[in-house]
């Protein structure tokens, strides 16, 4: 179907939402924007949909929400009355249209007689995951675009275990979504009628309190916090998102007395006015927090993204300046502390397992291996870590200890089944308190970990390529690497090629081919003769292709140099 056909269908629809109708009218002379808005239908991917807000089949609006939810409703209906009665928990963040989209989802489900539990106001993604489990709901929805720019919103679907839906379930839902021929004609129930019938339920404080109670189990050693609580200072920024209340309550419950919130970024604001991007992965997001830190001489700065599933941290480095730690570094600190403290207390299970993604640092594996624990790699995306937790819970083969990914996502307590920045803030503050009790900064603690296991350094470079042309460019880059793989990079031989699309691992020197026992994914990874590696992966939620890099050196300087050489060599090949 051509974009013009989609456009005409919308233009001629008499009952089109008034706001969208006005926006469409303003676009009538902008053929480029109209084509971008209508050239395809926003695809329901492996976890949901995400896109720019606006009119059109390729945009986030009430009709794309209704279509996605109609598909989910048909999937739930196919699983019988019990599934309908258990219903769907729904949360939303601080983005434009998030409350409206949440209610549209509830009204669409309600039309099918499916019970819904909608939070009274904005809540974090991890609390939605918790709510699904706590309420014994059949499914969950969270309206968020995570750390994307303000013009985006999204819709993620969760399974009954509180994790994002598995690939198999996603396929079933996608099939149902694709059966919906006209998103403009999806019927919804009336909000007040559904509430009166007890089908649409508003939730809040009861779930909040249950979640907070579970958060307190994250604490490993209360004594280290008591020792330094009078002097330990934290600056926290929710970056205009959902983290303000749960993070502050969580830290207070553990006994932290000095938590200063960045006033300019405390309140929810859909336009995220103080940052270019509300992403704690980007150092610029910490600019104001650093000013607070300097003024207060804070031990630690913490920042969470709008839906509070990711957290970044900054601490004073060897020069006394605040340095934003990478996700891999924070993950290593959390893991090292969990293992060593639990060993001291005799609470570390023999079959404890660490879960990480294929693009996450190998430092975590080294720490786990040195302590006789197994590390399992998953594909990128926390849903795969959630799947593994469920698998081991059923089999008893392993007991979950810690799961993380390089993009600032961590999970400690499995009462949540997605990355949880509230948990991570609490444990990281405890780790900071632990090192302070030893008269060390958190940065010095990181250096001690490097000294013990090696100076690991990782990097990420992204190319944002929007629109139809961008997708074609991303595919061209991947095709070039796949069809003509490099034999050497930065003067080092390529020793292993992993193609997750074909599920093949090639040991180059031995000319041996192995099977990769993970779901298929359009990802390429290359390991070099010195242990360095790089990986190419198109984002599943943004118009980006990401390049991941990892090296290990004898010193910080050596690893920094190796990383710079590897990045330059790979990106030079990309630009050819």
Domain end point (choices 164, 192, 211): 211
Our answer to whether residue 146 is catalytic in this structure is: yes
Cα dihedral 437→440→445→448 (10° resolution): -120
* Nearest alpha-carbon partner for 309 in 155, 421, 233: 421
User: Is residue 373 domain-shared with residue 497, that is, in the same domain?
Assistant: no
Give phi and psi for 563, each to the nearest 5. -65, -45
Cα separation, 11 vs 29, whole angstroms: 13
Question: Is-contact 281 147, C-beta < 8 A?
Answer: yes
Domain match, 143 and 191 both: yes
pLDDT tens per residue across all 576 residues of the chain: 689 999 999 999 999 999 999 999 999 899 899 999 999 999 888 889 999 999 999 999 999 999 999 999 999 999 999 999 999 999 999 999 999 999 999 999 999 999 999 999 999 999 999 999 999 999 999 999 998 899 999 999 999 999 999 999 999 999 999 999 999 999 999 999 999 999 999 999 999 999 999 999 999 999 999 999 999 999 999 999 999 999 999 999 999 999 999 999 999 999 999 999 999 988 899 999 999 999 999 999 999 999 999 999 999 999 999 999 999 999 999 999 999 999 999 999 999 999 999 999 999 999 999 999 999 999 999 999 999 999 999 999 999 999 999 999 999 999 999 999 999 999 999 999 999 999 999 999 999 999 999 999 999 999 988 877 888 899 999 999 999 999 999 999 999 999 999 999 999 988 899 999 999 999 999 999 999 999 999 986 667 899 999 999 999 999 999 999 999 999 999 987
Domain total of the chain = 3
**Residue 281 three-state SS:** coil
Instruction: Report whether 76 contacts 116 (CB < 8 A).
Output: no
269 shares a domain with 347? yes
Token look-up 């739930």 returns: 76
Q: Which residues pair with 40 in a beta bridge?
A: none
> Look-up: residue for tokens 């200890």?
401
Nearest to 125 by CA among 142, 108, 137, 110: 142
Range of the domain at 285: 217-453
Co-location of 11 and 102 in the same domain = yes
**C-alpha span between 496 and 498 (Å, rounded):** 7
Q: Which of 453, 468, 502 is the last residue of a domain?
A: 453
Pair (200, 238) in one structural domain = no
Lay out the sheet containing 311-316: strands in order across: 258-261, 233-237, 300-304, 311-316, 322-324
Based on the fold, state whether residues 314 and 434 are members of the same structural domain.
yes
The per-residue b/e assignment along 331-341, b for 16 or more CB within 10 angstroms, e otherwise, is bbbbbbbbbeb
Same domain flag for 376 and 427: yes
Task: Please enumerate in sequence order all residues whose Cβ is within 8 A of that of 350, keeping only pairs 6 or more positions apart, or say none.
Answer: none
Does residue 504 sit in helix, strand or coil? strand
**Last residue of a domain, which of 196, 211, 226?**
211
Mutual orientation of helices 31-38 and 3-11 as an angle, nearest 10°? 90
Give the H or E element holding residue 212.
helix 205-215
Phi, psi of 258 (to 5 degrees): -120, 85
Q: Measured between alpha carbons, how far is 170 from 400 in angstroms, rounded to an integer?
A: 24
CATH number of the domain bearing residue 143? 3.40.120.10
Instruction: Please enumerate in sequence order all residues whose Cβ is within 8 A of that of 472, keeping only pairs 6 or more positions apart, or say none.
Output: none
The strand pairing partners of 511, in sequence order, are none
| 478 and 432 assigned to the same domain | no
Half-sphere exposure of 455 (CA within 13 A, CB side): 12
- Under 8 Å between Cβ of 97 and 126: no
Give the per-residue pLDDT at 541.
62
Q: Distance between CA 166 and CA 156 in Å, rounded?
A: 12
Residue located via tokens 């609006």: 61
CATH, residue 550 = 3.30.310.50
- Among 64, 94, 98, 146, which one carries the catalytic annotation? 146
What CA dihedral angle connects 418, 421, 423 and 429, to 10 degrees? 160
Shared domain check, 558 and 463: yes
**Contact (Cβ atoms closer than 8 angstroms) between residue 383 and residue 166:** yes
> Residues 134, 137, 138, 140: is their CA dihedral positive or negative?
negative
Residues 109 and 166 in one domain: yes
Residue 459 three-state SS: strand
> 232 and 204 in one domain?
no
Asked if 201 and 225 sit in the same domain, the reply is: no
pTM of the model: 0.95
């Amino acid at each position: 179907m051509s974009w013009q056909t989609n456009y005409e269908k919308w233009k001629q629809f008499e009952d089109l939402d008034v706001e969208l109708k006005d926006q469409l009218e303003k676009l009538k002379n902008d053929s480029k924007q109209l084509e971008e808005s209508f050239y395809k239908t926003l695809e329901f991917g492996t976890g949901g949909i995400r896109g720019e807000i606006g009119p059109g089949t390729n945009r986030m609006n009430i009709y794309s929400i209704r279509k996605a939810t109609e598909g989910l409703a048909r999937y739930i209906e196919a699983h019988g009355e019990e599934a309908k009665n258990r219903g769907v928990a729904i949360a939303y963040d601080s983005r434009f249209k998030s409350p409206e989209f949440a209610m549209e989802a509830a009204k669409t489900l309600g039309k099918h007689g499916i019970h819904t539990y909608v939070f009274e106001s904005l809540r974090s993604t991890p609390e939605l995951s918790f709510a699904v489990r706590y309420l014994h709901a059949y499914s969950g929805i969270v309206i968020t675009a995570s750390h994307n720019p303000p013009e985006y919103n999204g819709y993620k679907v969760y399974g009954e275990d509180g994790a994002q839906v598995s690939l198999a379930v996603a396929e079933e839902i996608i099939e149902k979504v694709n059966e919906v021929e006209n998103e403009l004609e999806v019927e919804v129930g009336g909000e007040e009628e559904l509430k009166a019938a007890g089908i649409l339920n508003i939730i809040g404080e009861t779930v909040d309190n249950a979640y907070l109670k579970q958060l307190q189990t994250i604490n490993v050693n209360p004594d280290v916090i008591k020792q330094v609580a009078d002097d330990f200072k934290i600056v926290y920024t929710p970056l205009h998102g959902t983290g303000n209340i749960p993070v502050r309550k969580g830290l207070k419950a553990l006994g932290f007395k000095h938590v200063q919130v960045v006033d300019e970024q405390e309140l929810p604001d859909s336009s995220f006015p103080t940052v270019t991007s509300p992403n704690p992965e980007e150092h610029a997001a910490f600019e104001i927090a650093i000013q607070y830190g300097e003024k207060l001489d804070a031990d630690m700065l913490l920042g969470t993204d709008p839906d509070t599933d990711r957290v970044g941290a900054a601490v004073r480095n060897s020069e006394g300046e605040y340095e934003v730690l990478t996700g891999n570094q924070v993950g290593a600190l959390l893991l090292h502390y969990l293992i060593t403290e639990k060993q001291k207390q005799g609470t570390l299970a023999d079959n404890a397992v660490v879960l990480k993604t294929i693009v996450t640092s190998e430092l975590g594996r080294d720490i786990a291996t040195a302590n006789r624990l197994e590390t399992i790699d998953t594909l990128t995306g926390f849903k795969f870590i959630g799947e593994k937790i469920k698998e081991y819970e059923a089999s008893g083969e392993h007991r979950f200890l810690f799961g993380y990914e390089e993009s600032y996502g961590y999970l400690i307590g499995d009462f949540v089944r997605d990355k949880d920045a509230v948990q991570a803030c609490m444990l990281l503050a405890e780790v900071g308190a632990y090192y302070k009790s030893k008269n060390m900064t958190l940065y010095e603690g990181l250096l001690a970990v490097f000294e013990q296991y090696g100076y690991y350094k990782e990097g990420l470079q992204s190319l944002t390529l929007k629109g139809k042309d961008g997708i074609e460019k991303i595919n061209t880059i991947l095709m070039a690497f796949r069809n003509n793989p490099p034999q050497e990079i930065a003067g080092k031989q390529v020793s292993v090629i992993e193609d997750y699309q074909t599920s093949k691992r090639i040991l180059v020197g031995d000319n041996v081919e192995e099977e990769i026992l993970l779901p298929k994914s359009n990802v390429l990874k290359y390991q070099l003769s010195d242990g360095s590696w790089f990986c190419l992966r198109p984002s599943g939620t943004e118009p980006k292709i990401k390049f991941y890099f990892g090296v290990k050196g004898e010193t910080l300087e050596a690893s920094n140099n190796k990383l710079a050489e590897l990045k330059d060599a790979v990106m030079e090949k990309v630009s050819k």
